[in-house]
Amino acid sequence: MRNLLSFYTHLYPDLLIRIITPLAICLFIFNPVKSQDVGAGLDFLNISPSTALLGISEAQTATPSGAASIYANPALLVFEETSVLDLSYTLWIAEVQNQYAAVNYRRNNSSFALGVYNSSSDEFEARDQPGEPAGIFSIGYLSLSGAYAYQFGPLALGITGQYLREEVFQYRANGFAINIGSAVSLLNDRLRAGFAVLNIGEMQDLNNESTLLPTSFRFGIDAQLIEFTTPGMNDLPILLSIHADYMQPLEESPSSDFIDSDRKAPFYNFGITADIADIFQLRSGFKLGPTERPFSAGAGFLIAPVKINYALVPFSTGYGTVHSIGLEYYF
């Protein structure tokens, strides 16, 4: 089995809300768990489910990202101006499908969020000898999460609890993980800083041994850098924001994102967002560290109260390009 595992190691707001949202909820909530490229294991927890965050190379620890802050820094949930429903679908390389749905309820100085994050890939051929395959199997990973955040003036604290499940061939394992985080907002919300420790927990044995969780420490800043208007008769306001993260892995866990043997080398994630008239967003980001995906780009379009996001992440090794599409509904 060990040899087998090593081998098989995305014009009318009301109409959009009434039609697209129920269909999307059915798609994301009731789609059966299928699976992920086994080379990454539970590394799907290192991949942001948020389309917007993928567009800025996951510089996420101080960047509010709707309900997706469950997996980035739960303290940021309370910095949202309203409640939000968040849906996304990401087609990863090797036909891995990441699906995500979450909701963040914002009330006064607190927020409560629930999320589902599923990573799946199937139609792997099981072989123990040359010739015809012995069968077809799937690999799947699932996170069911709940989070709570509370704000004390400019400071916020948050915690996430996750139930985890992995399925490889006929083997099953359950586990749990906790995310904890803190964030502070300064200069009338023009500057934020945050830190988080993600994926603290453990898994049951899968066959003979348990899969390590990708535990990591993160620190980040988010700053509104400059705001200006374009010249001409119709002024077009543009706000430029920067995002920066430092991420230090705390476990030497195999990961599809590493390209060398140093499993504890840190990552530095940087992103920039151009917000044009509170309608369009253009995003770009890059990573420094042992990664196969050093660059990303994305865009967002707001038709209040709905925002549509898109991101692409090309792999530098030629494995392919990730495409992600997401929808946020503010209420």
Winning range, highest mean pLDDT, from 25-29, 33-37, 150-154, 262-266: 150-154
* CATH of residue 97: 2.40.160.40
What single-letter DSSP state applies at residue 257?
Answer: T
Give the range of the structural domain holding residue 132, as residue numbers without chain letter: 2-330
| 288 CB-near residues (< 8 Å, 6+ apart) | 267, 268, 269, 270, 294
Least confident of 122-136, 213-227, 313-327: 122-136
Read off the tokens for 119: 């990573």
Residue that wins the pLDDT comparison between 246 and 231: 246
How confident is residue 256, by pLDDT bands cut at 50, 70 and 90?
Answer: low
With a cut of 50, say whether residue 71 has pLDDT above it: yes
Least confident of 40-49, 190-199, 210-219, 316-325: 40-49
Average pLDDT, the chain: 84
The structural domain count of the chain equals: 1
For residue 7, give the 3-state DSSP assignment: helix
Instruction: Give the containing element (helix H, strand E) for 13.
Output: helix 13-30
Averaged over 106-133, what is the pLDDT? Answer: 83
- On whether the pTM is more than 0.75, the answer is yes
Strands 205-206 and 155-168: unpaired
| Amino acid letter for position 71 | Y
